[in-house]
Amino acid sequence: MAGLAPARRQCWTKLWTQLLVMPGIFLLSLAQHNFSMQQWSDEAATVLFSTDGTRWYDWAFGYVFGAYLLEDMLNDSLDVLMVWHHVGCCLGHFVAFVLLPAGFPFYFGGAVSLEFGSALYNLYCLYPEAKGMAWAFVLSMSLSNLAAAIFCSVWLWQDFPIAAKLFAGIVTSIFIVIRQKECMSEIKSINTPPPSPQAPRIRSTAPPRSPEAKSAVPPRARDAAVTRAAKVK
């Protein structure tokens, strides 16, 4: 890892958080609530801090994902659009965890779904020439977008203020549309054959004819050429 370039090292460190850490925390929290999203939602709405450990994994995700977003925001290579993207993510993270905790399990599931698709994108960036990697990225990104849309739809059915629903619905829709557009552009690049290489043009190395050489053409031949040119005109 120490010998990797900074961009590749960042892809690797994100990869394990996206593929193992966050999905693992989600499954552990779901198992703690008897694999019932409704039971999980009811307990999250009732208790923010728990002494019996019922929300231990929720807080673990709150810290992990919050730190993950903060680390991204401190990256110097982010452009202004991506900085605002992360600001929106942090705001949504706070709203889902603190202000509207009843919907936290569905937000959690949607975030994990989106990050899983991003993990395959990181793999694709690391190994773009690997056989089937481009299609694995396209398929996983499309499925993760679909899963996130389902989680968001369930979240919107909860009894939340209309302003919160508009915020969550609009932001999530923008994220999904942008990600899917990238997928579609990748599909086009996969199906587009590379341009055939053009044969290099060989420049003539013969020296230009001097006026003396031109005038060396026999007069009869010159007269015949002029006659033919006149007929063409």
| Domain boundaries of the chain, sorted by first residue | 6-191
Q: What is the pLDDT of residue 217?
A: 44
Q: What is the pLDDT of residue 5?
A: 58
- Owner of token pair 């991506």: 82
Task: Examine the pLDDT at 147 and tell me if it is beyond 90.
Answer: yes
pTM surpassing 0.85? Answer: no
Task: Examine the pLDDT at 227 and tell me if it is beyond 60.
Answer: no
Confidence of residue 212 (pLDDT cuts 50, 70, 90): very low
Question: Residue 50 — left, alpha, or beta (φ > 0 → left; ψ -120 to 50 → alpha)?
Answer: beta
- Owner of token pair 């903060």: 70
Q: Are the C-beta atoms of residues 155 and 107 closer than 8 Å to each other?
A: yes
Question: Residue 192 — left, alpha, or beta (φ > 0 → left; ψ -120 to 50 → alpha)?
Answer: beta
Mean pLDDT of all residues belonging to the chain: 82
Task: Examine the pLDDT at 88 and tell me if it is beyond 60.
Answer: yes
Task: Examine the pLDDT at 220 and tell me if it is beyond 60.
Answer: no
